[in-house]
Amino acid sequence: MTQQAESVITDEMRAIIGKEGAATTLEVENGGCRMFARSVGHTDPIFYDEDAAKAAGHRGIVAPPGYLGTPVFNPSRGERSPAETAGSGYSIPYKRVLNGGTDYEYLDTVCAGDLLTARTKITDFAERTGSIGPMLITSRQTTFTNQDGKVVAKMQGRTIQY
């Protein structure tokens, strides 16, 4: 007889669904756009050259798909940004972590010179048993707002703990 594994989702965890964590500031600059584009292997000059980007109708060098700025590094806070740790003030029995996937939605173009504010909330906890055993899937949504107060992008991320 098989026994259903006990849920690791607690009332404390359910209570934080939908609550936004601390805001993170992300700088979108020429060098960051170029470095990201180069690391992917992009060939479109709008990701590298300001004149080419402006000739194509953009305000400045365009942030390549998936690049939403670089968090302002704070040595007293360490390696991880609040976006990665949002709502992690609870404990679960799984030690290992996998990145389950990411989806981006663009509501406007992001260009070098933009200053983005990211706010992340947990949108769902789900449990599943797969080839790696029982796992907890945490879904988060991060909203990116630019310096004019406009929401320019949303990111949905899924983290797997097992």
| Residues within the interface to other proteins (CB under 8 A) | 32, 35-44, 56, 64-67, 70-71, 79, 98-106, 156, 158
Q: Which is nearer to other proteins, 6 or 95 (CB)?
A: 95
Q: State in angstroms the smallest separation of the CB of 81 from other proteins.
A: 8
User: Smallest gap, in angstroms, from Cβ of residue 103 to other proteins?
Assistant: 3
- Between CA 59 and CA 50 the distance in angstroms is 9
Smallest separation (angstroms) from other proteins to the CB of 56: 6
Compute the distance between CA of residue 59 and CA of residue 106 in angstroms, rounded to an integer. Answer: 16
Minimum distance between the CB of residue 2 and other proteins, rounded to whole angstroms? 26
In the complex with other proteins, which residue's Cβ is closer, 41 or 149?
41
Q: What would the DSSP string read from start to end of 37-49?
A: HHHHT---GGGT-
| Residue in 101, 105, 139, 145 with CA at minimum distance from that of residue 122 | 139
* CB closer to other proteins, 16 vs 100: 100
Q: In terms of CB distance, is 12 or 103 closer to other proteins? A: 103
CB-based contacts of 161: which residues, under 8 Å, 6+ apart?
92, 94, 96, 97, 98, 135, 136, 138
Query: What's the start-to-end Cα distance of the chain, in Å?
Result: 23
Nearer to other proteins, 7 or 102 (CB): 102
Whether 21 and 119 have beta carbons less than 8 Å apart is answered as yes
Residue 96 beta carbon to other proteins: minimum distance, rounded to whole angstroms? 9
Count of CA atoms in the C-beta half-sphere (13 A) of 149 = 0
